[in-house]
Amino acid sequence: MRVVITGAAGFIGSRFAELFVENAERLGYDDIIILDALTYSGRRENLVDVLRDSRVQFVKGSILDATLTDELLSDAHAVVHFAAESHVDNSISGPRVFYETNVLGTQQLLESARGGGVERFVHVSTDEVYGSINEGSWREDHVLAPNSPYSSSKAGSDLAALAYHRTFGLGVMVTRCSNNYGPRQFPEKLIPLFVTNLSDSQKVPLYGDGLNVRDWLHVDDHCRGILLVLEKGRVGEIYNIGGGTELTNREIVDQLLELCASDESMVEHVPDRLGHDRRYSVDWTKIRTELGYHPQVPFDQGLKETVQWFHDNEAWWRPLKIQTP
């Protein structure tokens, strides 16, 4: 059977591709296609180990290319869709590409999947589509209230995916994850940005009062959750995937300063991001009770290992620090 994994040269997608290859024989897949446009945050270097496997084929291309997606999905059994523009700050300075890629690109992929008879389509999304919550946690049926061009484009893609299930019967499942962290994360995101800045004795920019709260999820746990949904999830359903560790940005910064042997003098307070959501928190009871999902990486351990990975892999991140999207 064939699976098409889009955006698998990126941070989360590449880790999922590794996990999928490890489980491909058990799941019955012998034809694994990775489709990635290799925009600024997608890197073939992230796929070195995966591409050694004879079952894996890498295709450089866009999910907006109908001819290409029709061809690749014509014989596919499953799609796992990571490809997206994902950095909130970039969506504020240049929104258009987010709607083109995240909404229109997803619609094109759904159409190709429908035409190709794809049976299982996992659409990977984000908890940011829910907006901001002062207390409690979002369940999957919570109203969507996105506050940035990025999150609104992802909400649009979620709705398109679910509409293709309801209208055409496509076997869509949507996952919404909390904040990911781990090795190979592009250094525009909070943890890798701060670690690499501190490695260069550069200050780290802390938005506003630093009290914005996020639920942190190790990329390995996220990918295990997605694999469970692909294998056992119910079509037409949404599954929240959380990490169970809610921390303010200020608390994250304090831990990073300690792990990087730095101090408060390295923190630069900067004006808050436009439309900055105050708190995210997902209720992941559904994936736990239905599919048996549990996070396996304790946050303290995962953060320490992530910091060490960036310290040990300067050759990976150094060129990216001078690269602009």
Active site residues: 127-128, 150
Q: What is the DSSP letter of 279?
A: B
Alpha carbons within 13 angstroms on the beta-carbon side of residue 1 total 14
Q: What is the DSSP letter of 196?
A: H
Contacts of 63 (CB under 8 A, 6+ apart): 6, 35, 37, 69, 81, 83, 101, 105, 106, 108, 109
The answer to whether residues 150 and 91 touch, using CB atoms and an 8 Å cutoff, is yes
The answer to whether residues 35 and 72 touch, using CB atoms and an 8 Å cutoff, is yes
Which amino acid would we find at residue 283?
A: D
The answer to whether residues 148 and 98 touch, using CB atoms and an 8 Å cutoff, is no
The Cα 325–Cα 123 span in angstroms is: 24
User: What are 151's two structure tokens?
Assistant: 């999150």
Closest to 29 in 3D by CA, of 76, 62, 83, 80: 76
Alpha helix (H) residue ranges in 95-215: 96-99, 106-116, 149-168, 190-199
Closest to 11 in 3D by CA, of 324, 320, 243, 322: 320
* Cross-strand partners of 206: 269
The Cα 127–Cα 150 span in angstroms is: 12
Which residue spans within the chain are E strands per DSSP? 2-6, 31-36, 56-60, 76-81, 120-126, 172-177, 179-181, 204-207, 213-218, 238-241, 246-248, 267-270
